[in-house]
Structure 1
Amino acid sequence: MRHPGIRTPRTPRPSRAAATAAAATAAAAVLALVPATTAQAAPAPQRAEAPAASTASAAWAPGGNAAILGIDYGTWQRDVATVIDGARPYVEQRLANAPAGQKPAIVLDIDNSSLETDFHYFWTFPTPAIAKVRDLVQYAHAHGAAIFFVTARPGIIQSLTQYNLKAVGYPVTGLYVRDLPDLFDEVSAYKTAKRAEIEARGYTIIANIGNKQSDLVGGHAERTFKLPDYDGKLS
């Protein structure tokens, strides 16, 4: 109890520097008591990187319309490879034996025939190439074949489509899109007419590649190769 008129001496507070020094000394003392095995176990939290890798892989997982429809990307890739692996020996031999002066050409559809359209979200741009198809096309072009794309895409996106094809590694000799008059034709009739137009320019179409019958019917190609569309589910 404090008495009036009598001052109790105040215990002086340690300076901030002294408090910091004391804290540091105490921390050092605690660390000195920690067993070596505990200190060596400190890097263990690095194991948390594993989920991050899984998350990154998931970010690159295919999506889009195919995922909604339940079409497995790996299965589709294998089915595509079966067709293209069968086409490649023919293309190699046909180009190796092309008569002098002949202008061989390959015609391709685009969506799910050259680009992985339905396996990516619509905002993905450029849409990735189908690697097996691109490799075959690059080989053919390097060995003298012209490469034409005939698509049902509207003319309004022609420049974007051409940019996409070139950006993912396709050589492009020509790109045919549907202009306003073509929109009133059946897709098969429109594509047949464009192949006939390519032939009229002096080319011999040695292979026509697409994933729908409308890409392939109508003639004007020595051989046709159909990629999977799973009963019309892929565009």
Structure 2
Amino acid sequence: MAVVDTVSVVVAHSERATLRVGDTFLKVDSDQSMSDREVAAMRLAPIPTPTILWRTPPVLAMAAVGGEPLGHLGAPSVASPAAWAAAGAAARALHEAPLPPWQGRSLIDVASRLDAECEALTAGGILPAELVSGGRRMADAALRPSQPVFMHGDFQVEHVFVDGDRVTGVIDWSEAGTGDALFDLATLTLGHEERLADVVAGYGADVDVDVDAIRAWWAVRCLLAIRWLLENGFDAFMPGAEVDVLKSLV
């Protein structure tokens, strides 16, 4: 039996826990459909993903990917412009792949969730009403019809690993499905607006990227995430995090 020096908790909340044991990640999902989706998405994705070692529900074991995260929310990224462009190119490759055989959230569902979250944020005194209403108005620009693509669904900087200027792996596929390509680009650049031009360059000059829609998706992501983060032990108010991003937009 291999000797393991440490067992570390990567993340733990009511929906999921992830442990790192040596070079193996163990994910335990409360909702098996999310785990099923993650496994299916990784098998279909045309970009680097973690190697699945074994699966015994509710546990999924995967090998660690090489490299380091592209960045962290609330902190400047030390990754090169070329690394950010490579992340954009990886997103483009995914978005050009055949659609997965399951649907993502509809715009009607997103709008309904937004309305509920905005009401809860205001009623609970979590954020000022003016900030919430301003963010909700801005979010409308994201809720427009778009050509569906194979979307990662949580394409944030900590889920994209790079080694130098090369993407070595993209993790956490449980939100994958069909959806708006710009949501992935917005998720990647949330809190890193200065890197958007690099990502768009890597995505491809032949695509007319709607920056206003990306900014609107930033507002959507912040509004939908803030209360969940606070309820699960994360600090949405830390410098550069979701609350600061929302304030910068409104």
TM-score, normalized by length of structure 2?
A: 0.26
With a CA cutoff of 8 Å and minimum separation of 6, indicate the structure with the bigger relative contact order: 2
* Structure with the larger helix share: 1
* Structure with the larger strand share: 2
